[in-house]
Amino acid sequence: MTGPQIIVLATPVFLALIGVELAIGRARGRAGYRLNDALSSIGLGVMSQIAGVFTALLTLGIYVWVHDRFALWHLSPTSPWTWAIGLVAYDFLYYWHHRAGHRVALFWAAHVVHHQSEDYNLSTALRQTSSGWLAGWIFYLPMALAGFPPLVFAVVALIDLLYQFWVHTEQVGRLGWFDRWFCAPSNHRVHHAVNDVYLDRNYGGVFLVWDRLFGTYAEEDPAVPCVYGTRAPLRSWNPIRANLQVYADLGRDSWRATSWLDKLRVWLKPPGWRPADVAARWPKAPFSVDAFERYDPAASPRRQALALVLFVALLAATTLFLWHAHALGGLERAACALAIGVALWAVGRLSEGASSPAQAGSSYGRQAPPQALP
């Protein structure tokens, strides 16, 4: 069974749990969902899976190539220790990949997609980048060198990813000792939070021990409610813009920089860093907590209904595509992917209302100013 087919089988479970979370939230008087934001987040997850059809073989192929030619050992895929240690090793490398995604602009340009939602719920978990394949694979090559078989690597990577779905919720409170050692809803809310005290914390995927070891752990404080987003909000439901905006911003600043060293630094410095000459000539207004408003453009009930119907249809089409993608030719895959991409764009456009969508500001920054929770 292929990776996309596994995701297809898991999707009904994801959607059912989203329904349960929504029902619980409404019963408690704090549903935490908006249709436009949820469609955007799930749609970006769809786009990520579509991109994976074309890129998974490349990234896994690099792993296989390094493993077959340069592995120092060849660990047995039949040993339980290979799987157990492989999961721990993967999560350790994921910690550094995730940390780089918040501290290096190039990696933030991919990871920002996951943080753009200004809500925090299970649909946020599905909000994934379509460009992580560009450089993310670099972090996991030590496993290939250590001799972990490609099958073990692929499976533990999937386990690590699927585990993180359930932690994206405000409906589960503190879990005592579990919060201190494992990624759980409380400490992952901290990770997504924009408050200064929570900034750049809790990167672990399954285990939080890495954050304790390397000084990036922070505990959720009931007196400081978590708020979510990015410092310069995307302010759009356009999935193409969501994936490319930060790359465009970085490219523009790199082009404008006078110093060749600064042209490189733009991509390698922490998110938000800009060359002095560029910042002076093209200043960006500082964000204001008081002026911040959550992006929520008004769309008529008719447009919302159309967006929902179209989204359900494209989910069905995506399910069929992902299930049969391995048997399709290159042109057939490209045509299906293009059609689904256009449908996702249309859903976003319907969600933005009849008027032209507000122009998004730069989403360079890592975090967003606080706003009222739903």
* Per-residue pLDDT tens over the stretch 105-159: 999 999 999 999 999 999 999 999 999 999 999 999 999 999 999 999 999 999 9
Q: What percent of the chain has pLDDT over 70?
A: 93
Would you tell me how many other CB atoms lie within 10 Å of the CB of residue 23? 12
- Per-residue pLDDT of 305-328, as tens digits, reads 999 999 999 999 999 999 999 999
Chain-centroid distance of CA 351 in Å reads 21
Lowest mean pLDDT among 87-91, 165-169, 297-301, 343-347: 297-301
State the chain's maximal CA–CA distance in angstroms: 61
Confidence band for 292, pLDDT divided at 50, 70 and 90:
low
pLDDT averaged over the chain? 91
Confidence band for 171, pLDDT divided at 50, 70 and 90:
very high
Would you tell me how many other CB atoms lie within 10 Å of the CB of residue 83? 19
Hunting for tokens 């060849």 — which residue is that?
Answer: 74
Confidence band for 290, pLDDT divided at 50, 70 and 90:
low
Residue 147's alpha-carbon distances to 15, 19, 155, 157, in angstroms, are 37, 41, 15, 15
Q: Is the pTM of this model over 0.85?
A: yes
Query: How many CA atoms are closer than 13 Å to the CA of 69, on its beta-carbon side?
Result: 7
pLDDT of residue 189: 96
Beta bridge partners of 193: 228
For 259-283, give one letter per residue: b (16+ CB within 10 A) or e.
Answer: eeebbebbbebebeebbeebeeeee
- Per-residue pLDDT of 215-229, as tens digits, reads 999 999 999 988 898
Query: Residue 60's closest CA among 133, 147, 146?
Result: 133
